[in-house]
Amino acid sequence: MKMKKKIKFLLLCLIALTQIFPLYWLITFSLKSNGEIFGENVIGLPQVWRWENYGNAFTQTSLIRYFLNSVFYSMVTVVVAGLLSAMAAYAIARMRWRLKSLVFGAFALGIMIPAQAALLPLFQVLDKAGLKGGYLGLLIPYIAGAIPMSIMILIGFYKSIPMEIEEAACIDGCGIFRCFGTIILPIIKPALATASIFTFLGTWNELMLANTFVDSDRYRTLPVGIMSFAGQYSTDWGLIGAGMVIATLPTIVIYFMLSNQIQDSLVAGAVKG
């Protein structure tokens, strides 16, 4: 038994190292010069720690604006998509109505269609509506793209909640909206946190739509802004690395803040009733 535990421990340590290594490489990458990055010292510690790469990222670029734009897009998408998904999933999972299967199929179809296939039609629609190039030009696709996956996560969780809870609330005179807001929403917080993390990561790291629908530097997101750091004739890769580290930090913080909710969601979803 002790030998098996040692093997499991070594295996877990190996998996942890493989997961941590990309973050280690990114941090050391951001503190090197171009000569070190493309020289022999590829994965080692920097010979000269270039902390000024972070200062240059803030002073020589519009990184703060890009960062705030990404925060705005991500937060609005998480809140709006989370609220709409919670209500839509509740209607699909807990209510009886004629077109329920058709609506569920439409949301399922939204997961199957890749964003690349909808890029040109979406570009034309937003352009004709006069929304391309502004905040709404990205928020609408982001929210619409986040809703189907969130609904699928929440429907499975809703089905694990006993119907007796809502029946008792209805007997006590609780209406459907009050029941949803005061009873159901607190129960589904773990699943909603899980869906919110997926939505946040998808929005925060999204590049294709932001690069296609945004023309002005004023509305650029962080991934597009970092991509613009590359020059036509020369590129400061340490500066790009610093920007990537800054872009990675919020995702790590958000995950640690909501990690307990995700564990509760997995446990609750595994035990029905």
Tell me if 204 is assigned to some domain: yes
Q: pTM (2 decimals)?
A: 0.84
What pLDDT, in 10s, does the model give residues 1-50?
A: 678 888 888 899 999 899 889 889 889 988 888 888 887 777 888 888 88
Is residue 151 helix, strand or coil?
Answer: helix
Q: How many domains does the chain have?
A: 1
Residue 270, pLDDT score: 46
- The CA distance from 54 to 245, in Å, is 9
Average pLDDT over residues 150-167: 85
Residue 116 lies in a domain: yes
The answer to whether position 2 is within a domain reads: no
Handedness of CA 67, 71, 74, 76 (dihedral sign): negative
Residue 186 and residue 264 in contact, taking contact as beta carbons nearer than 8 Å: no
The pLDDT score that the predictor gives to residue 232 is: 61
Q: Which long-range contacts (CB under 8 A, 24 or more apart) does 30-36 make?
A: 30/54, 30/238, 30/241, 30/242, 30/244, 30/245, 31/238, 31/241, 32/237, 32/238, 32/241, 33/238, 34/235, 34/236, 34/237, 34/238
> Would residue 218 count as lying in a domain?
yes
149: containing domain: 62-231+248-270
Mean pLDDT over all residues of the chain? 85
Q: How confident is the model over 225-269, as pLDDT tens digits? A: 888 887 766 788 888 889 999 998 888 888 777 766 666 555 554
Kindly state the average pLDDT of the residues 209-215.
Answer: 88
Q: For residue 139, how many other CB atoms are within 10 A of its CB?
A: 18
CB atoms within 10 A of CB 104: 18
> Between the CA of residue 222 and those of 89, 190, 240, what are the distances in Å?
31, 28, 11
Residue 148: band (very low, low, confident or very high) from pLDDT cuts 50, 70, 90: very high
The reply to whether 27 falls in a domain is: no
Report yes or no on 24 lying in a domain: no
Instruction: Please tell me which residue, 174 or 270, carries the higher pLDDT value.
Output: 174
> Which pLDDT does position 266 carry in this prediction?
54
pLDDT at 79: 94
pLDDT of residue 65: 92
DSSP letter assigned to residue 170: H
CB atoms under 10 Å from CB of 140, counted, come to 17
96 assigned to some structural domain: yes
273 falls in which pLDDT band (50, 70, 90)? Answer: very low
Other C-beta atoms lying within 10 Å of the C-beta of residue 46: 18
Rounded Cα distance, 252 and 255, in Å: 5
Across the range 51-65, mean pLDDT stands at 88
Is residue 179 within 8 A of residue 77, CB to CB? The reply is no
Reported as a single tens digit per residue, the pLDDT across 66-85 is 999 999 999 999 999 999 99
CATH code for the domain in which residue 224 is found? 1.10.3720.10
pLDDT at 194: 85
Distance CA 126, CA 132 (A): 5
Burial of residue 213 (CB within 10 Å: 0-12, 13-18, 19+) is: buried
Mean pLDDT of the 103-124 span? 87
Q: How far is CA 59 from CA 4, 104, 240, in A?
A: 53, 49, 13
Q: For 92, phi and psi rounded to 5 degrees?
A: -75, -40
Q: Is residue 214 part of a domain?
A: yes
**At 88, is the secondary structure helix, strand, or coil?**
helix
Instruction: Return d(Cα 96, Cα 156) in angstroms, integer.
Output: 16
